[in-house]
Structure 1
Amino acid sequence: MQIIQYLGANGPWSWIVAGLVLLALELVVPGGFLLWMGIAGILTGILVLFQPLDWPVQWLVFGVLSLASILVWVRLTRNRAAQTDRPLLNQRAEHFIGQEAVLDQPITGGFGRLALDDTVWRIAGPDLPAGQRVRITGADGAVLRVEPV
């Protein structure tokens, strides 16, 4: 009972402190959601500081602000493409597309092997003799597709 009386007497400050606690938790448990809930708690506390509201209305305001801010945040960040200076990182096969090389071994039965950099790749394409110049046109997993130049 004393906690309810304390919260009733210090309602706005309780919301502001709860918002700050949520912001502090966001530092420990990153993800973004606690950030927006903390901001909603602080805004609810500021609103209650200037316009006294009953507890159910305060919870409703907090809930609406939390949901609205999280939904706006998710909508804005969902369609944002990750910007990177190395877009083909962890896509080694796609890195070779467009490059030309000379076959060390012939392609027979539609498959062969080609040494690129420090790796021997499995290649797929038409039957070609050793010494033929080829261009890498695509990749199917770890198999590079080639065509004669």
Structure 2
Amino acid sequence: MGIVDFIGQYGAWSWIVAGLVLFGLELLVPGGFLLWLGIAGIATGLIVMVQPIAWPWQWLIFGVLSLVSIALWVRFNRNRHQNSDRPYLNRRADRFVGHESVLEEPVVDGYGRLSLGDTVWRVSGPNLPAGTRVRVVGSEGAVLKVERI
């Protein structure tokens, strides 16, 4: 019962110190959720400073504030769209959608080769002879999907 005695002895200050400790732990442990628990701890301490409350109710207030703050952050963060200066960084094949080029090797049994930029890509599509002008219409992994122009 050490925690209960500590909260009973120091009251609001124990919540504020616990909130500050959670803030410090947020710097060491990645994840983002300890920040919101720290805010809930400090808020609980401030509430207990203004209005003395029995310790079981303090835990209830801390739990409710923790859940509400995390839920609000998740809701806010989910709707936020992050723009990137390199949107195709990990989707290199997607940046070629819409490009036109000439087949280097014929598409036989659904697969052939095409040179775009400084790379020779494997392509899929209908059977076409080498030298046919094609347009990239999509990608599946590292395989470009093409169609005849």
TM above 0.5, one fold?
Answer: yes
Are residue 28 (structure 1) and residue 28 (structure 2) matched? yes
Partner of 2:12: 12
Partner of 1:127: 127
Matched residue of 1:45: which SS? helix
Change (3 A) 1:103 1:51: same
| 2:103 is the alignment partner of 1:103 | yes
Aligned to 1:57: 57
Deviations 1:43-91 (A, max 9, x none): 1111111111111111111111111111111122123233212221111
Mapped partners of 2:43, 2:126: distance in 1? 67
Question: Given the two structures, how large is their TM-score scaled by the length of structure 2?
Answer: 0.89
CA distance in 2, matches of 1:140, 1:5: 61
Q: Which runs of 5+ in 1 are unaligned?
A: none
Q: Distance in 1 between matches of 2:146 and 2:5?
A: 77
Identity across matched positions, percent: 62
Q: Distance in 1 between matches of 2:79 and 2:40?
A: 24
Query: What's the Cα RMSD here?
Result: 1.9
Name the amino acid aligned to 1:140: E
1:41 aligned partner: 41
State how far apart, in whole Å, the 2-side matches of 1:140 and 1:4 are: 58
Instruction: Determine the C-alpha separation between the residues in 2 that align with 1:106 and 1:7.
Output: 77
Structure with bigger strand share is 2
Aligned residues: 149
| 1:82-131 superposed Cα distances (whole Å, 9 cap, x missing partner) | 32122211111111110011122222233211122232211122232222
Note closer, same or farther for the CA distance 1:32–1:96 as it changes in structure 2 (3 Å cut).
same
Shift of 1:4: 5.4
Unaligned runs of 5+ in 2: none
Q: Aligned letter for 1:101?
A: S
Deviating above 4 A after TM superposition, structure 1's stretches of 4 or more consecutive aligned residues are: 1-6
Distance 1:120 1:55, change over 3 A: same
Structure 2 CA distance for partners of 1:140 and 1:132, relative to 1, 3 Å: same
